[in-house]
Amino acid sequence: MALPVTTIATADRPRERLWALGAAALTTAELLAIVLGTGGRGHDVLAVAQRLLLISDGSLRRLAQRPSAELLRSPGIGPTKAGRLIAAFELGARAAREERPPAQRIREPEDVLRLFGGRLRDLQVEEFHLLALDSQSQVLRDVMITRGLLNSSLVHPREVFRAAIAEAAAGIIVVHNHPSGDPTPSAEDRAATKQLVSAGRLLDVPLYDHVIIAGDRFVSFATAGLL
């Protein structure tokens, strides 16, 4: 009889640990257990995963190279679990073969416009984005912070810097659009930017620029001396 994962103490269950600590904190056996889903033959899923690793000398590469028929002969592994393993290994192999796109570097406000102009210029609602940058001003990630109603641009620094810290950003640029077609910063834009500058100084994650896009025009707070 297959033992469910609920036989493992809640705090020690692989899926709960993944959400609490992140995938990188889990052992290989725990990650395999999440892929398998359930245990089998009187063992909980973590024990089945550990046994898989044991017969593969602890090597994921060797486990991935095993024929499907051999996987099916492993204790607690049936067609469903073997299929999950084969699919997971193939996804990993395809991800490894993908070429990493060249990092985008932000040197001037026009670089921000090239990244966002086509996406934001004709939107009928405001979107507020964060560009998390490394120490070389290369883009680590683009994070959409809010998407709101027409002419609504209020953003709390907590939301912005939570994302920036999660990406280990050395600095940030924020960008949003004005559906009105006029990129002139509003009083709310100026106030929100002032808050972001202050929070960035406190957290040692500086705000390099705030770019507003409206149609084919844009305003850079840095260029305009508004930071």
* H/E segment holding residue 34: helix 28-36
According to the model, what pLDDT value does residue 124 have? 86
Q: Are 211 and 219 in contact (CB under 8 A)?
A: yes
Q: How far apart (Å, rounded) are the C-alpha atoms in residues 72 and 86? A: 11
According to the model, what pLDDT value does residue 101 have? 65
More confident residue, 98 or 120: 120
More confident residue, 103 or 61: 61
According to the model, what pLDDT value does residue 169 have? 95
Give the tokens for residue 2: 């297959």
Q: Which of 5-19, 29-43, 208-222 has the highest mean pLDDT?
A: 208-222
According to the model, what pLDDT value does residue 153 have? 52
Q: Report the pLDDT averaged over residues 171-191.
A: 94
Give the tokens for residue 192: 């929100």
Q: Which CATH superfamily is domain 109-220 in?
A: Cytidine Deaminase, domain 2 (3.40.140.10)
176 contact partners, CB below 8 Å, separation of at least 6:
120, 126, 127, 128, 129, 153, 155, 212, 213
> Confidence band (pLDDT; 50, 70, 90) for 148?
confident
> Confidence band (pLDDT; 50, 70, 90) for 11?
very low
183 contact partners, CB below 8 Å, separation of at least 6:
212, 213, 214, 215, 217, 218, 219
Q: Report the pLDDT averaged over residues 28-56.
A: 88
Q: Are 207 and 193 in contact (CB under 8 A)?
A: yes
**pLDDT score of 7 more than 70:** no
For residue range 55-102, list pLDDT tens digits in order.
888 899 899 988 888 888 888 899 999 999 999 999 988 888 876 666
3-class state of residue 25 by DSSP? helix
Q: How far apart (Å, rounded) are the C-alpha atoms in residues 194 and 180? A: 23
3-class state of residue 79 by DSSP? helix
Enter the DSSP assignment of 104: P
Domain segments of the chain: what residues? Answer: 5-97, 109-220
More confident residue, 6 or 68: 68
